[in-house]
Structure 1
């Protein structure tokens, strides 16, 4: 099986650019009800994943920061606590599943390291569940 079978294309992914602000990250997560969002660099490559926890810890360590001033803080100033890794579209399923065990989603990049989408852990689990149901 190929990773592309599970791929949610970039056009359907809520992501942030590395020049986004803390406020934009908060609003994007709230709007989509996500607890983590991929960040892309200016060339369209995968930069990392920001989580609600990253944003909360950053804000907690800066008591002078108000919600209004979050629009002046660049997202790249927020330390990312987790190193969510991406896979190449040509990677094997074992690599994808190894990452999906510890990440809610796995970013997928092409041969030029450009972000092309992601694979949600829930999609893999749903696929496996359907396969098990058909065998019963």
Structure 2
């Protein structure tokens, strides 16, 4: 099965540009209730995923940083502990199951590396569950 069936397109996804500030991304994540958010560059390419943990570690490890001055920190300058992998739109659903174990979502890119959307872990779990149910009939 093609993963395009499971794709939540970019226009329905909350993401952030790497030139945004730490404050902007924190407020966006809080507003939407997300714990992780895809990051894209000026060209629209996926560059990584920023997590709440990344933000907390940045606060902890930057003695002069507090919430009031988070607007001075660019998202691109925040180290990310985990390198979340993206997949090509041409990938199979089976190839992304292992990524979904450790990622809330799997970013999807086109042949040029341009971010086109995500596949949510919940959609992958539902697919696996329905496949199991069908095989038991």
TM-score (norm 2): 0.93
Give how far 1:94 is off: 2.5
The equivalences for 1:1-136 within 5 A come to: 1-134=1-134, 135=136
For structure 1, which segment, 42-51 or 95-104, has the greater mean C-alpha deviation from structure 2 after superposition? 95-104
Structure 1 CA distance, aligned partners of 2:18 and 2:43? 10
Give how far 1:95 is off: 1.8
Give how far 1:46 is off: 0.3
Give how far 1:129 is off: 2.1
Could you say what secondary structure the match of 1:83 adopts?
A: coil
Unaligned runs of 5+ in 2: none
Structure 1 CA distance, aligned partners of 2:89 and 2:98? 15
